[in-house]
Structure formats: structure tokens, C-alpha cells
């Protein structure tokens, strides 16, 4: 089965270039935790991040498959047992979850979005915000209607008070997508509606700091139409921290950001990088809003076209690319945030997964993720990799 996925393209200031090079690491222990079987109760095409519960259970979503071939929510127990927790109905209950699930560790409830389904104001539906309770009850918390956003994507962010934050990639009052909040009291609010100059098509998950500020990216718009990095205060004031130019600084960021203790933001752009190797970049944005291109992918063995979230840990950056590597099926990479050198931790070979479109989740010294295709059946995998 083919699946037409939203391909959202996404945009300025002083760029500090960092000398980069790539190496291939000795083989790291890589394990496929689950190989999706296809359009059945099992699920297929996981485009999403995975999350962990306190007991080590892994939770996620697959974009298609399930009873209605509209996607599933799943869990993988510490002993490796795979269970489908919910099959989307493809209608009012949502369809095509392009985002992972967010766990309330106290209650065990899961929250997420679907890109389609719900309100019929949009072709195939505008998408829904949902809750899957620990007792198995499924509830649509909000059905997007285009005027408040459409086609939500990216893993939701939850604060300590139980408020949930996310992005709708298009629609909204100004048509360019929106940042939204669903409060612990059940109130849905558009916090900011993008219009183009301030960005267009917000992507990925939002990063929340201790002061309640939200950080994210837009895939396009901004001063040069190549996307932006933005900050949104708790009072709803948006500041464009950086507008990409499509040159050496890259363009079209599509994944979420991470932050270090010094306040530097890290992310990736899906395209551009420089004139000869326009395969995407990994960048650092300092608190003074100076951007450094840490690494520019070549599209070869080092990977190309990163789309998922960046993970920062102890001065190292981890992520995936959708292409490049030995078989052009993508890689898992590690980048030294100080020096900019890249190490390929794993190069996908189709049989063990292909074209990962989500970022990574760290649990202890292990990295977990999904590949949207490949595997024994060609419908994607959930994998684990030692750093």
C-alpha cells in the first residue's frame, strides 16, 4: 500500500560556520524490537517518536494499519510483548497519527494527535487531539476545524500542571498554522496564529523551559521563506529568534528543538546547507541569537535530509536522517556539539528498517526510535541502539 504523506517544506542573520567531518563508528548493538506486519491489527508506517513509562514500557503510534487501516496506538512491554492499545476509526475518532504519544506518568493516560479525521471542514478531516486513558477509554478532546488549525503534527508537550501544548501545521486564524494549548481544565486555546512573516507551517514538538516559554520551528515563512526558530512566552508574545536563508545556515527545519544548560538551542534543517551539498544541517542557536551550522550533510554515507527532533545529551547531539547511509535508507547519527564532527551510529539496510522520520528517545544508555519503512515486511520497525 502506498501512503501519501504530508510533505511540508519550510526560513536569516549572522551564521557561524564550524568545520565538520564524518566518521563511521564500529558496529553498535542494534536491535529491532518490533517489525510491523502491515495493514492489519498490527499497524504500519510509524512516523513517530516513542515514549517510556516509569516501568520501562514503550509507547508509540503507527500512521496506518489497525482495524480501519487508519493507524494504531501501541505499547511494547519490557519483555518485548507488543500490544495494540487502540485502532483509529478513520472518521470522527481520527486518522493517521503522524505524532507519537505523550504520557501522564501519574495516571498512565496517553495524549496525542491525528493528522486527519475529525471535523469534515477539511478534506479527509482536520485532525483531532485525543486521550487514551489507562483503563482503555478513548476520547476525542478536540476536533480541529481549520479556523483553529488543521493537520496537527509533532509530539505534544505537557507541563507539570497538566496543560498540553502542540502545533497545527496549517489553518488557524491567519492560515499559516498555530500553536495551541489544551488546559488541564479542558479548554482549547490558540496561543499564536502564524501568518507568514513570523513563520509558516510550524513543525515538530515544542520545547518548554522552566519559565513556561515555548520554543519551536516553522517549516517555511520568515524573512526569506526558509523557516524560523521562534519563542512564545506564557502571555502569548512571539519572538522570531532566527530566520533561515537557505544558504550555509540551511532551510526548512522540520523537527523539534533541544536545549542545553547554557541556553543554546539545537535543531536540524531538512534541506540546503551549502551550494554543493544541499542535504540539510544540524545547527546551534546561541542565547544571543547567533546561529552556528555544526554539520552539513552530504547525502552520502553520513546521511541526508534529517526530519526528526534533535536529542542533546552531555555535549552530544543525536538524530536520524531519512536518506543517505550505505543503502540510502537513512542513518542514526551522533554529532559533537563542540567540534561538529559526526559519527554514524547505524546505517539502515532496509531489512532492519528504512527512512526514519522521527527523532530518538533516550532511556538509560540506549537510544530508541522508529523507521517508517523497511523491515522484514516493508512496513517499518521500532528499534533500539546502544550509544
SS3 per residue for the chain: CCCCCCCCCCCCCCEEECCCCEEECCCCCEEEEEECCECCCCEECCCCCCEECCCCCEEEEECECCCCCCCEEEEECCCCCEEEEEECCCCCCCECCCCCCEECCCCCCEEEEECECCCCCCCCCCCEEEEECCCCCEEEEEECCECCEEEECCCCEECCCCCEEEEEEEECCCCECEEEEECCCCCEEEEEECCECCEEEEEEEEEECCCCCEEEEEEEECCCCECEEEEECCCCCEEEEEECCCCCCCEEECCCCEECCCCCEEEEEEEECCCCCCECEEEEECCCCCEEEEEECCCCCCCEEECCCCEEECCEEEEEEEECCCCCCCEEEEEECCCCCEEEEEECCECCEECCCCCCEEECCEEEEEECEECCCCECEEEEEEC
- Residue 11: predicted pLDDT: 34
- φ, ψ for residue 150 (rounded to 5)? -150, 155
Neighbours of 365 (CB within 10 A): 8
Q: Which residues are CB-neighbours of 187 under 8 A, at least 6 positions away? A: none
- Residue 22: predicted pLDDT: 65
C-alpha–C-alpha distance, residues 263 and 211, integer Å? 13
pTM more than 0.85: yes
- Residue 16: predicted pLDDT: 46
- Residue 21: predicted pLDDT: 56
- Residue 12: predicted pLDDT: 34
* Positions in the chain short of pLDDT 70: 1-28, 273-277
C-alpha–C-alpha distance, residues 110 and 58, integer Å? 12
- Residue 142: predicted pLDDT: 98
- Residue 324: predicted pLDDT: 97
- Residue 276: predicted pLDDT: 63
Place of cell 499564536: 192
Amino acid at each position: 500500500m502506498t501512503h501519501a504523506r504530508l510533505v511540508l517544506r519550510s526560513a536569516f542573520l549572522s551564521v557561524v560556520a564550524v568545520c565538520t567531518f564524518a566518521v563511521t563508528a564500529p558496529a553498535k548493538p542494534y536491535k529491532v524490537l518490533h517489525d510491523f506486519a502491515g495493514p492489519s491489527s498490527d499497524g504500519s508506517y510509524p512516523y513517530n517518536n516513542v515514549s517510556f513509562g516509569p516501568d520501562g514500557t514503550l509507547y508509540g503510534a503507527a500512521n496506518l494499519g489497525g482495524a480501519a487501516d487508519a493507524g494504531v496506538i501501541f505499547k511494547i512491554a519490557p519483555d518485548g510483548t507488543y500490544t495494540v492499545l487502540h485502532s483509529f476509526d478513520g472518521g470522527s475518532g481520527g486518522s493517521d497519527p503522524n505524532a507519537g504519544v505523550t504520557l501522564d506518568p501519574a495516571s498512565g493516560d496517553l495524549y496525542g494527535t491525528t493528522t486527519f479525521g475529525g471535523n469534515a471542514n477539511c478534506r479527509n478531516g482536520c485532525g483531532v487531539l485525543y486521550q487514551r486513558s489507562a483503563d482503555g477509554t478513548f476520547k476525542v478532546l478536540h476536533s480541529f476545524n481549520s479556523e483553529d488549525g488543521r493537520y496537527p503534527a509533532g509530539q505534544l508537550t505537557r507541563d507539570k500542571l497538566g496543560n498540553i501544548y502542540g502545533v497545527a501545521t496549517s489553518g488557524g486564524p491567519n492560515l499559516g498554522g498555530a500553536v495551541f494549548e489544551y488546559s488541564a481544565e479542558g479548554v482549547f486555546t490558540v496561543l499564536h496564529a502564524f501568518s507568514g512573516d513570523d513563520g509558516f507551517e510550524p513543525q515538530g514538538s515544542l520545547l518548554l523551559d522552566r519559565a513556561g516559554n515555548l520554543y519551536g520551528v516553522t517549516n517555511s515563512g520568515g524573512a526569506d521563506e526558509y523557516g524560523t526558530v521562534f519563542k512564545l512566552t506564557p502571555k502569548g508574545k512571539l519572538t522570531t529568534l532566527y530566520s533561515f536563508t537557505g544558504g550555509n545556515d540551511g532551510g526548512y527545519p522540520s523537527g523539534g528543538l533541544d536545549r542545553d544548560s547554557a541556553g543554546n538551542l539545537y535543531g536540524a534543517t531538512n534541506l540546503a546547507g551549502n551550494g554543493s551539498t544541499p542535504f540539510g544541517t544540524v545547527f546551534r542557536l546561541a542565547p544571543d541569537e547567533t546561529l552556528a551550522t555544526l554539520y552539513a550533510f552530504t547525502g552520502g554515507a553520513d546521511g541526508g535530509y534529517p526530519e526528526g527532533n534533535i536529542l542533546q545529551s552531555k555535549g552530544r547531539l543525536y538524530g536520524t536522517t531519512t536518506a543517505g547511509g550505505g543503502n540510502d535508507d537513512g542513518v542514526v547519527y551522533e554529532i559533537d556539539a563542540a567540534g561538529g564532527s559526526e559519527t554514524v551510529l547505524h546505517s539502515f539496510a532496509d531489512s532492519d528498517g528504512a527512512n526514519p522520520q522521527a527523532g530518538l528517545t533516550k532511556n538509560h544508555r540506549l537510544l530508541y526510535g522508529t523507521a517508517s519503512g523497511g523491515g522484514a515486511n516493508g512496513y517499518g520497525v521500532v528499534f533500539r541502539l546502544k550509544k
